Amino acid sequence: MIIHFSTVHARTDTRIRVKQVASLAGAFDERVALYVQDGKGNERDEAHGIEVMDTGLPSGGRLARMTKGAWRMYRAVRRARPSVAHFHDPELIPVGLALKFSGIKVVYDVHEDVPRQILGKHWISPWLRRPVAGLVEGVEWVAARVFDGVVTATPTISARFPSKKTVTVQNFPILGELVLPESTPFSERPLHVVYVGGITAARGAVEMVDALERVTNDQVRLQLGGTFTPVGRENEVSALPGWSRVVAHGWVDRITVAELLGNVRAGLVLFHPAPNHMDAQPNKMFEYMAAALPVIASDFPLWRKIIDGARCGLLVDPLDPQAIAEAIDWILMHPEEAEAMGRRGRKAVESTYNWERESETLINFYKQLLAK
């Protein structure tokens, strides 16, 4: 049995459930399960051939999750005695170590560059950020040498871990997932742009809405799919004048994401230049490309290499609403060039930035792991 587990991520998490767990279930005869902690009960996912097991949501917030929740997850996974226990949250490193010492093969999946992420946490006192980031990096470094393998989301993250037991499995889109059978022809779409994902200040929520007040055409709308973090952020953003041009959908499932992407003119990914963003590879950028949308993205060196390399979008200063507005204007005023950008982005996904290629890496990693 192979178990992936998380106390933080939702049971619907695309990277974990739809990509990794489903790919492993299709490649191996062993049972594959996803253990979560949300209080919604167990389920059998027939479409992907996996089981979802709920270990119960502990009351008491973050501290309870990291203590009672972690202990509950440890007991559930240890009781199942899987061939491989593959976890997805840095706070579960102690659980991973305990499982390893119980004789179970353990894999640590690193979605984010956590030490760099800590450097941008405004709720941590500035004089504490570097020591905390250093401590976390040290814990990861030591733990990685105990675990049987490490899976990371980007090459930059992989560089921090032992090369002999680390594999990079990038979070690229599934080729056919976000393409509508009959999408609206590009030239007939409304003058709308889209952002899908977690909505935070650091991901450009304020600048995107401010930009809407500055675009030339008052018919422009932002289709916004996702939830605001932290609670209350929506009140701040919805008070901006540009909010009248926002169509807020809240959390959206994958079918709705495909519908949104198939009926707009461009996708926005305007992360602020925080330490953990500079070398990130946001899934939404590649999803826009997969849907043949031109991308308006933050002008970071890595993102410039991707966007300019595929000639599939425009790069802007994410802190400058006027620059964002001008990029939106250009896309809407040059529909033929914008459509060509989208086609080139789709071609780049088909050749390079797709999950089908990444899943082969994951499956080969597991074959070697299970053979030991």
Q: Residue 271's pLDDT is what?
A: 96
Instruction: Spell out the domains of the chain, with CATH numbers in brackets.
Output: 2-172+354-371 (3.40.50.2000), 186-351 (3.40.50.2000)
pLDDT of residue 181: 77
What is the rounded radius of gyration, in angstroms, for the C-alpha atoms of the chain?
21
Phi-psi region of 115 (alpha: psi -120 to 50; beta: other; left: phi over 0): alpha
Residue 108, token pair as written in the block: 């640590």
Residue 92 CB-half CA count within 13 A: 32
What is the Cα–Cα distance from 154 to 255, expressed in whole angstroms?
26
Look at the alpha carbons of 56, 62, 64, 69 in this order and tell me if their dihedral is positive or negative.
positive
Cα–Cα distance, 321 to 163 (Å, whole number): 41
- pLDDT per residue, tens digit, the chain (372 aa), is 999 999 999 999 999 999 999 999 999 999 999 999 999 999 999 988 999 999 998 887 888 899 999 999 999 999 999 999 999 999 999 999 999 999 999 999 999 888 787 776 766 777 788 888 888 889 999 999 999 999 999 999 999 999 999 999 999 999 988 887 777 899 999 999 999 999 999 999 999 999 999 999 999 999 999 999 876 778 889 999 999 999 999 999 888 999 999 999 999 999 999 888 888 899 999 999 999 999 999 999 999 999 999 999 999 999 999 999 999 999 999 999 999 999 999 999 999 999 999 999 999 999 999 998
Which pTM does this prediction carry?
A: 0.88
Number of C-beta neighbours around residue 368 at 10 A: 11
Q: Are strands 105-110 and 149-152 parallel, antiparallel or unpaired?
A: parallel
Beta-bridge partner residues of 267: 194, 295
The pLDDT score that the predictor gives to residue 48 is 87
Residue among 248, 160, 239 nearest 196 (CA): 248
The two three-digit tokens of residue 221, written as one number: 């709308």
- pLDDT computed for residue 361 by the predictor: 97
pLDDT given for residue 292 in this prediction:
95
Give the span between the Cα atoms of 86 and 148, in whole angstroms: 10
CA dihedral 261, 246, 303, 162 (to 10 degrees): -80
Q: Of 119, 111, 94, 89, which Cα lies nearest the Cα of 7?
A: 89
Q: How far apart are CA 222 and CA 97, in angstroms?
A: 45
